[in-house]
Structure 1
Amino acid sequence: MATELRVLDDGAWISVDNRRRVPNSDIWPLAVTDFCACETAHVVLEAFTDVGVDGERVAVQAVGQCIDCGTEGGLDWLAVGRVRDGEFHPYAPGELRARLETGNDFR
């Protein structure tokens, strides 16, 4: 079963099967990141720029800002949920989710 993924509303939402499921305005605590020097970067996602899937993981590229140190920039393939048995299960922003390794092809 195919899952349709799209970036909507100028990067404000990720649509999964034509339903807005992941908003960009959440704060994501990220461990294991080179986004900034913070041990855990608390990043406000300002806009999604791409979405893809690798197996069952749904991941996004985004731009954001760390609310602790002020660093702004791009995030490369952040896991935001998974698809299991044809159903999307988003990760809660409060869950620590490490960025996916760069170089993975989510297209």
Structure 2
Amino acid sequence: MDVPVRILDDGAWVSVDDSREVGVSDLWRLSEHDFCECEVADVLLEAFFEIRPNDDRVEVRAVGHCITCGERGSMGWLTIGRVENGQFVPSDPSREHRITPA
């Protein structure tokens, strides 16, 4: 089943199946050296700028900053959720995530 995904509100929200699902206000834990030199970075997302479905995953590229070291920048592909049985299941931002290079 195809599920439409898009970015809304100047990069502030990700819409999945015409419903706002993920916003930029969460801290995402990113694995070692995926975003900055911190062992595990807590990154506050500031804006989404690209989105794609990848098999059953929904992935975004975003801009953000690490609240520990202050590094700012864009990142590769971050999985923000999955589509299971036609329903969106968001990823837990507090769990450690890996970034796929852009």
* Range into which the TM-score falls when normalised by the shorter chain: over 0.9
Give me the TM-score of the superposition, normalised by structure 2.
Answer: 0.95
- Distance in 2, matches of 1:88 and 1:43, equals 23
TM-score (norm 1): 0.91
Kept in 1: contact 2:34–2:99 (CA 8 A): no
Partner of 1:93: 93
What is the CA deviation profile of residues 26-55 of structure 1, one whole-angstrom value per residue up to 9, with x for unaligned ones?
Answer: 000111443110000100000000111110
Structure 2 matches for 1:58-77, cutoff 5 A?
58-77=58-77
SS at 1:76 equivalent: coil
Please tell me whether the aligned partners of residues 32 and 99 of structure 1 are also in contact (alpha carbons under 8 angstroms). Answer: no
- Unaligned 5+ segments in structure 2 are none
Match of 2:53 in 1: 53
Instruction: Decide whether the 8 Å contact of 1:51 with 1:60 is kept in 2.
Output: yes
Q: Which ranges of 4 or more aligned residues in structure 1 deviate by more than 2 Å? A: none
For 2:33 and 2:54, the matched residues in 1 are separated by 20
Q: 1:17-56 maps to which residues of 2 (within 5 A)?
A: 17-56=17-56
- Using the aligned pairs only, state the percent identity: 47
- Aligned-partner Cα distance in 2 for 1:94–1:34: 16
Instruction: Compare 81-90 and 32-41 and name the one that shifted more.
Output: 32-41
Aligned length: 102
